[in-house]
Amino acid sequence: MIFNELLEKRQKNVEEIVYKYLPKEEGMQKTVIEAMNYSIAVGGKRIRPILMQASYVLFGGKEEIIEPFMAAIEMLHNYSLVHDDLPAMDDDEYRRGCKTTHVVYGEAMGILAGDGLLNYAFETAIKAFDFGVGSAKVGEALKVLAHKAGIYGMIGGQTVDIESVDQMITAEKLDFIFRLKTAALIEASMMIGAILAGASKEQVNLIEEIARNVGIAFQIQDDILDVISTLEVLGKPIRSDEKNNKVTYVTLKGLEQAKQDVENMSNQALESLTSLALESEFLYNLIVYLIKREK
């Protein structure tokens, strides 16, 4: 089976898992639940739960205990996108080729939908305790999830990103934004998979390093695509960073250097993955796919 077919199969499997954990659209609060579910139903590559599952399998994981965390990481990712699209942030009307959540449901409900996804992600992740095994591992995984999504992770990166609008920023600050805003959830995904599978502390640390390089390269590639792609291919407005007066990796270092840095970071991640000496063909090919993607 060629990689694209295998990836499509994994994506369908992940979507089944995520949808299984979505809240039912009922009760007097059903509007916010509909808005939450809409943000996930419009699609996406499901990269973070796929990476989590791949990391879990890499270290020999075979139980369903990973599934609540796979759903939770996708909820966290989508909450960040719902809020990122709001008028107070990037003010985007399209996401994945569809109207954004706040455009469909209104700004107030968009805020509440993001809040709902954030809270429900942790309600979902703690269901891993119901499996009755590996409580210490589940606790450690929850610590990683909370830390990487919070003020020392994604929120911290988003804060500096917002404060940097209309400012000339250094390469050091841009690296900080990328490491926290984008790489943190990718690190969480792969670390949680490793932790729940019983990887050693040293192996988890190496996985975190691999994920950081993947995450930063992923964001640089996003900046490249924002310049060279189209709305039809990308599924969201192009040159949105330019519209919002944001300095990007491309504006700071130029297109060719950005492409070279993506290649360097992805190669470093792949070399580290190979050094684990584990069966990692799918994960290896997935990292290559992420870096060379066109949307």
Q: What is the pLDDT of residues 108-120, one digit of tens each?
A: 999 999 999 999 9
What mean pLDDT value characterizes the chain?
A: 91
Predicted local confidence at residue 243, as pLDDT: 56
219-275 pLDDT, tens digit per residue, is 999 889 888 855 444 445 555 565 556 778 998 899 999 999 999 999 999 999 999
Q: Are 96 and 235 in contact (CB under 8 A)?
A: yes
Residue 275 burial (C-beta neighbours within 10 Å; 0-12, 13-18, 19+): exposed
244 three-state secondary structure: coil
pLDDT at 233: 45
Domain that holds residue 118: 3-292
Across the range 35-50, mean pLDDT stands at 94
Lowest mean pLDDT among 5-14, 166-175, 176-185, 257-266: 166-175
As to burial, measured by CB atoms within 10 angstroms (0-12 exposed, 13-18 middle, 19+ buried), residue 110 is buried
pLDDT in tens, 128-164: 999 987 899 999 999 999 999 999 999 999 999 999 8
Tell me the pTM: 0.92
Q: What's the total number of domains in the chain?
A: 1
Bridge partners of 99? 94
CA 227 from centroid of its chain's CA atoms: 21
Q: What is the dihedral of CA 270, 148, 229, 282, to 10 degrees?
A: 30
- 185: domain CATH number is 1.10.600.10
